[in-house]
Amino acid sequence: MHVEADLPGRVRAGLTAEAGEVLVVIGPNGAGKSSLMRVIAGLEPGRVVVDGRDWSDLAVPERRVGYVFQDQSLFPHLSALDNVAFGPRARGRARRDADRTAREWLERFGIGDLAERRPRELSGGQAQRVAIARALATEPDVLLLDEPFAGLDVSAQMALRIELGRHLRDFPGVALLVTHDAIDALTLADRVLVLDEGRVAQVGPPAEVAAEPRTPHVARLVGLNLVAVAEGEQLIAFPPDAVVVSLHEPEGSTRLRWHGQVASLAPHGDAVRLLVHASPDLLADLTPAAATELGLVPGREVWLSAKATAVSRYAARG
Ligand SMILES: Nc1ncnc2c1ncn2[C@@H]1O[C@H](COP(=O)(O)OP(=O)(O)OP(=O)(O)O)[C@@H](O)[C@H]1O
């Protein structure tokens, strides 16, 4: 499936996905992730072309799309069952038929016994299961999930993540899932799509995106330093524990060195993690003993150099 979406000033993105694929969409605040989802769903006016067919003027129910958005929560006056049956009914299925489908979906999510409850009588995790069941019950070609775990506590998130992963494996269409959490990308994605300033900055399998990030946002997410070199044509990435911190300019010919000011120090596992304001900002891990010996405090001027063997270098654009 090929999707082109254009919402001027907010997002302009093209993506291609195989049937059954899960694309996890990541990017910093304001990158256009929600805009992409909303324009595909038809909740914002914009241009959408799917496999050469122009969807732009199609109303929401005419699009073969299921969505779970934070602000499109369940109908409060309907039971869980009626919420899930709503989509099939709106698509013309007879009441008994739609109810049977809805009941099956609730059972698949392990909440068949909650069918008669109203949304306010459900926990956050249960309500989110109903919302996802409601989206899947319409048998969409595209499933859009915008931060489906937001607002749930950590253990509810983990349980729902595992369960959703199972349903996504069986889902025959294309799923797009927006998240801020690297765990979602690593556990749920077939491929990760990175949005930056409304454009697709990178697409690839999670391991590849994590190893060779092309945006500062993804580099931070996976805990790597990222520096543009060769007039911006290439990038180098290296982990914070491959950075040597010194108070004086390092000897030798290495060009992998930067001068900057310590912005913060924080415990990180057994190490101390420094954030140094240089160009660009860099992270460095060192032992607590070394941090004390160097007298590192915020504001201190330092030199950083990267161990060449720990640096990976790759093209800035794919
Ligand atoms: N209703 C709106 N009208 C106009 N501009 C909007 C609207 N909603 C969002 N924007 C702008 O569009 C851009 C993309 O926002 P969007 O919400 O899609 O980003 P996002 O990647 O989902 O961000 P976040 O991670 O913060 O949810 C931002 O510059 C934002 O200010």
> What DSSP string runs through the chain?
-EEEEEETTTEEEEEE--TT-EEEEE-STTSSHHHHHHHHHTSS--EEEETTEE-TT--GGGSSEEEE-TTS---TTS-HHHHHHHHHHHTT--HHHHHHHHHHHHHHTT-GGGTT--GGGS-HHHHHHHHHHHHHTT--SEEEEESTTTTS-HHHHHHHHHHHHHHHHH--SEEEEE-S-HHHHHHH-SEEEEEETTEEEEEE-HHHHHHS--SHHHHHHTT-EEEEETTTTEEEEE-GGGEEEESSPPPSS-S-EEEEEEEEEEEETTEEEEEEESSS-EEEEE-HHHHHHTT--TT-EEEEEE-GGG-EEEES--
Exposure string of 265-296, with b = 16+ CB inside 10 Å and e = fewer, is beeeeebbbbbbebeeebbbbbeeeebeebeb
Mutate which of 7, 10, 70, 195 for ligand 1? The one with the most ligand atoms within 8 Å of its CB, which is 10
Closest residue to atom 8 of ligand 1, CA basis: 35
Q: How many CB atoms lie within 10 A of CB 162?
A: 11
Residue whose tokens read 């859009």: 144
Centre of ligand 1 to C-alpha 208, Å, is: 27
- Residue closest to 21 by CA, chosen among 177, 132, 224: 177
Going from the Cα of 36 to the center of ligand 1, the distance in angstroms, rounded, reads: 9
The topology (CATH level 3) of 2-213 is Rossmann fold (3.40.50)
Atom number, ligand 1, closest to the C-alpha of residue 146: 22
217 close to ligand 1 (CB < 6 Angstrom): no
CA-nearest residue for atom 25, ligand 1, is 29
Residue 258 to residues 122, 134, 272, 280, 292, Cα–Cα distance (Å):
54, 53, 19, 9, 21
Which pLDDT belongs to residue 253? 66
The CATH class for the domain spanning 223-315 reads mainly beta
Task: Return the ligand 1 atom nearest residue 36 CA.
Answer: 18
Q: Is the CB of 32 under 6 A from ligand 1?
A: yes
Kindly give the confidence (pLDDT) of every residue in the chain, 318 residues in length, as a single tens digit, with 9 standing for 90 and above: 999 999 999 999 999 999 999 999 999 999 999 999 999 999 999 999 999 999 999 998 889 999 998 766 799 999 999 999 998 998 889 999 999 999 999 999 999 999 999 999 999 999 999 999 999 999 999 999 999 998 899 999 999 999 999 999 999 999 999 999 888 888 899 999 999 999 999 999 999 999 999 999 999 999 999 999 999 999 999 999 999 999 999 887 667 899 999 999 999 999 999 999 999 999 999 999 999 999 999 999 999 999 889 999 999 987
Return d(Cα 159, Cα 96) in angstroms, integer.
31
Q: If you measure from the C-alpha of residue 23 to the centroid of ligand 1, how many angstroms do you get, rounded to a whole number?
A: 20
- The pTM for the full model equals 0.90
Measured by CA distance, the residue closest to atom 6 of ligand 1 is: 10
Cβ of 161 less than 6 Å from ligand 1 = no
Question: What is the pLDDT at residue 255?
Answer: 75
| 34 CA to centre of ligand 1 in angstroms | 7
pLDDT of 186: 85
Cα–ligand 1 centroid distance for 302 (angstroms)? 38
Task: Note the pLDDT of residue 151.
Answer: 85
Checking phi first, is residue 139 left (phi over 0); if not, alpha (psi -120 to 50) or beta? left
For residue 180, CA distances in Å to 13, 27, 139 come to 19, 7, 26
Q: Are 22 and 189 in contact (CB under 8 A)?
A: yes
Please tell me the total number of residues recorded for the chain in this structure. Answer: 318
Nearest CA to ligand 1 atom 9: 35
Domain boundaries, the chain: 2-213, 223-315
pLDDT at 71: 67
State the distance from the centre of ligand 1 to the C-alpha of 5, rounded, in angstroms.
15
Task: Write the residue with the smallest CA distance to atom 14 of ligand 1.
Answer: 32
